[in-house]
């Protein structure tokens, strides 16, 4: 169970009808999602949308190359994951968050296990001074199978544990398929990025963003890029996810039966910056709760991540220092995203 210092559940605050946003959730003015700001009214932003790639089409490789180079994020359809499994995973997550609080608290994170402990929580960072996200979550440790312990997952939602296992296996297969396409798009051997990442450590995080009394002051998830190799995300139809593109925040609506692919920092390191990890955030609203399911495909903590030598030359010198993934993760959890990209600390001065 979480310690007494743990913040209250966001859902409990929303259900209690708080009319003012508690101070620990108020973002600094420069990070707030001000609806009157220029980027929301810019015609350029309105005309941009995250690419959609049909993995079953003959031109999928070229489409992935363009999306990785220009966006770092793209929807995939024709991916082979049964729509019923996507619906089942969203449904299981929603059933958990709609369950009584006393049931949910039986599966609360154990803060003694460190930041990002498995289970039901509201705070992922170790830094107690950080502004909190307007979000609750359930984090599942799903791969390698030696980490997978379904007894740590809810048993009061019918079929929950079986659904998570099936979803985990399906997302692993899709992530590896995508990494092979990404490798080939850079003229690397198909298995290059997969082998560079090594044994996969997969977490599945179901996030629940309750209605917020002052959404213009808060964020459901602060601006950040993901730490690992690749993230696969599904969401409901409420909306709130945004990707940063050329200085503009671009809304990412849900795509029926689609899966959003988000390139993460270790892939940017391996590709020498040819492909960038996508900076993204989640905004909230006053009226409707939102649910998303993110599957993270990461290296082991002991893995050393290095730039592919084939992508280093005089015209493209190495951009990033090699890094032990566990050190990279520790630095993020100790200070939080702070609206910045953690990867920038590894830049090599040219």
- Pick from 169, 191, 188: which is nearest to 178 by CA? 191
Please write the tens of the pLDDT for every residue from 73-111. Answer: 999 999 999 999 999 999 999 999 999 999 999 999 987
Please write the tens of the pLDDT for every residue from 107-164. Answer: 999 877 766 689 999 987 655 678 999 999 999 999 999 999 999 999 999 999 999 9
Q: What pTM value is reported for the model? A: 0.94
pLDDT score recorded for residue 41? 42
Phi and psi torsions of 166, nearest 5°? -65, -40
Please write the tens of the pLDDT for every residue from 163-215. Answer: 999 999 999 999 999 999 999 999 999 999 999 999 999 999 999 999 999 99
219: its two tokens: 């964020």
Please write the tens of the pLDDT for every residue from 268-277. Answer: 999 999 999 9
98: its two tokens: 């709609």
Cβ atoms of 211 and 193 within 8 Å: the answer is no
Please write the tens of the pLDDT for every residue from 296-329. Answer: 999 999 999 999 999 999 999 999 999 999 999 9
Cβ atoms of 307 and 272 within 8 Å: the answer is yes
* CATH code of domain 47-345: 2.60.120.330
């Amino acid at each position: 169970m979480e310690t007494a210092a743990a913040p209250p559940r966001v859902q409990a605050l929303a259900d209690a009808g708080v009319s003012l946003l508690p101070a620990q959730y108020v973002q600094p003015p420069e990070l707030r999602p001000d609806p009157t700001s220029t980027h929301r009214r810019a015609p350029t932003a309105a005309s941009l949308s995250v690419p959609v790639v049909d993995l079953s089409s003959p031109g999928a490789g070229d489409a992935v190359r363009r999306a990785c180079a220009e966006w770092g994020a793209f929807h995939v359809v024709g991916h082979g994951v049964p729509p019923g499994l996507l619906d089942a995973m969203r449904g299981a997550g929603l059933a958990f968050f709609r369950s009584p609080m006393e049931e949910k608290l039986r599966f609360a994170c154990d803060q003694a296990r460190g930041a990002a402990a498995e289970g039901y929580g509201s705070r992922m960072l170790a830094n107690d001074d950080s502004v909190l996200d307007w979000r609750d979550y359930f984090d599942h440790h799903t791969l390698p199978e030696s980490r997978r312990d379904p007894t740590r997952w809810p048993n009061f939602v019918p079929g929950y544990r079986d659904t998570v296992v099936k979803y985990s296996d399906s997302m692993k297969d899709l992530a590896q398929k995508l990494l092979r396409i990404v490798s080939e798009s850079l003229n690397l051997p198909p298995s290059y990025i997969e082998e560079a990442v090594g044994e996969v450590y997969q977490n599945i995080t179901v996030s629940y963003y309750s209605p917020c009394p002052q959404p213009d002051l808060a964020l459901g998830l602060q601006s950040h890029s993901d730490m690992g190799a690749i993230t696969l995300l599904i969401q409901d139809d409420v909306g709130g996810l945004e990707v940063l593109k050329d200085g503009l925040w671009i809304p990412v609506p849900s795509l029926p039966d689609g899966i959003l692919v988000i390139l993460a920092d270790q892939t940017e390191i391996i590709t020498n910056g040819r492909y960038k990890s996508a900076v993204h955030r989640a905004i909230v609203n006053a009226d409707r709760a939102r649910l998303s399911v993110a599957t993270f495909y990461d290296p082991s903590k002991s893995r050393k991540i290095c730039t592919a030598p084939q992508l280093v030359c005089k015209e493209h010198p190495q951009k990033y220092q090699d890094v032990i993934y566990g050190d990279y993760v520790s630095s993020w959890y100790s200070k939080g995203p702070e609206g910045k990209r953690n990867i920038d600390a590894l830049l090599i001065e040219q």
